[in-house]
Structures are given as C-alpha cells and as structure tokens.
Chains A and B, each alone.
Chain A
Amino acid sequence: AQRVTQPEKLLSVFKGAPVELKCNYSYSGSPELFWYVQYSRQRLQLLLRHISRESIKGFTADLNKGETSFHLKKPFAQEEDSAMYYCALSGVTSGSRLTFGEGTQLTVNP
C-alpha cells in the first residue's frame, strides 16, 4: 500500500526565514512525487513535481529514495507563501490516482 505522511499540521515562520515542509512516503517501487498548494479561497493547484526537478516560486523539493522523503524547501519565506500544502504520490500500481498527505498549513508572519 502507498502512504504519504506530513508530520506537521501547522508550521509558522517569520518572513525571510527558511522553511521546510516535511513529507515522507512509503511505496514499493519508483513513485512520482508532487507538491500541491491551496491558497486562501483558491483551488488546489500543482506547485511542483520531482520529475521536473524545477524551482517554482523559490520552492524546491528533492526526492530522497534512501530516506523515502520529498521535503519542500524555500530559503526565504514570503507572506504570500502562507497556504495549505499537500504532498502527493502516484505509482505504477495506482495508475493516475494520487495519494495525498494530511497537509501542512504554513503561516508566514510579517
């Protein structure tokens, strides 16, 4: 079975501070990992995916297969980064279905 765990329900940092949102997964195989974000009063949207190895809005995430983690990082948090962040996984056995973590509510204080 595949599972995604986000250990922090709430995370609060000050503007300009580094931020790391943790994501751990269990999957027997090679997963595809994603981060989705939901800003206040907006719909869920894709932030980034590991396969693209991209940086979006200053965020990066590296897939660590040894630690089965896909933590989301940003060196200098901005107030507009305040949102709910979901880590998600899909695999060969699940086809196009995504399994989501519990979500982390990030608040960036001025």
Chain B
Amino acid sequence: NAGVTQTPKFQVLKTGQSMTLQCAQDMNHNSMYWYRQDPGMGLRLIYYSASEGTTDKGEVPNGYNVSRLNKREFSLRLESAAPSQTSVYFCASSGLDRGTGANVLTFGAGSRLTVL
C-alpha cells in the first residue's frame, strides 16, 4: 500500500521552463490537494480537487494549473516557472476516518523544486 506517491523528488528548472508534478494515491480518496511549503509560511494550498472531474483554486493558485486525470491522479503544472516558485511541493489526499468522521490528510513525500 503506497499511499500517496509524487514525482519527481527533485527538479531544477530555469526561469520560463515548464514542468508537471505528478501525484497518485491508492486509497480510493475523493479529495486531493497540492500544497507548497516555504520557511516561515507553513503550508499553503495551491489547488484542490474535491472529487474526480472538479478542481478549485486554493490560497496561492497564480502560476499553476492542475488536472484531475482520474480518481487516482492529480497533477500540478508550472507553465512558465519563476524563482518565486522555488519551494517544496506536497500532494495529499483525504478521506473520512470512519471512527471519528474526521477528514484526515495523507501526504506524499514532497518534491523539491528550484527555479534559477
């Protein structure tokens, strides 16, 4: 049971280049998310998908696009990378804990992106 898998783990880009971060989960969760983690700013939501076929903007969506390809996969694309997008990106999925009814996030291992 892999949980949430995201690729690549590391990437260096030049300003203006494009790339896609891939994320897949095998827990049959409906909701998936992309966060970025920056020192002193915590985790900020970029985009999320409440269910297959839907996507919505989070707190910091500018410069990003997403695709919910199917229930398992949720990709994040940077069309024209900027140095301000240097960060660690986390994909997550969530499902209801049957015991408590609480919605619990499961995170991927993170992707460290550097834009020069």
Q: Which of A13-21, A60-68, A71-79, A90-98 lies at the interface? A: A90-98
A residues 65-110 in Cβ contact with B at 8 Å: 86, 90, 95-103
1/0 contact trace for A44-59 toward B, CB 8 Å?
Answer: 1110010110000000
Secondary structure at chain A's binding surface: helix, strand, loop or mixed? Answer: mixed
| Contact assessment for B100 and A51 in the assembled complex, using a CB-CB cutoff below 8 Å | yes
Known: A36-B105, A96-B94. 7 other contacts (CB 8 A): A43-B107, A44-B43, A45-B107, A52-B102, A99-B45, A100-B35, A102-B40
Q: Which A residues fall within an 8 A CB radius of B?
A: 4, 6, 9, 32, 34, 36, 43-46, 49, 51-52, 86, 90, 95-103
Q: How large is the interface on B (under 10, 10 to 19, 20 to 34, 35 or more residues)?
A: 20 to 34
- Given A52-B100, A100-B43, check contact A43 B110 (CB 8 Å): yes
| Contact assessment for B42 and A102 in the assembled complex, using a CB-CB cutoff below 8 Å | yes
| Contact assessment for A102 and B41 in the assembled complex, using a CB-CB cutoff below 8 Å | yes
Closest CB pairs A-B (n = 10):
A100-B43, A102-B42, A44-B107, A100-B42, A96-B31, A96-B103, A43-B109, A103-B42, A43-B107, A51-B102
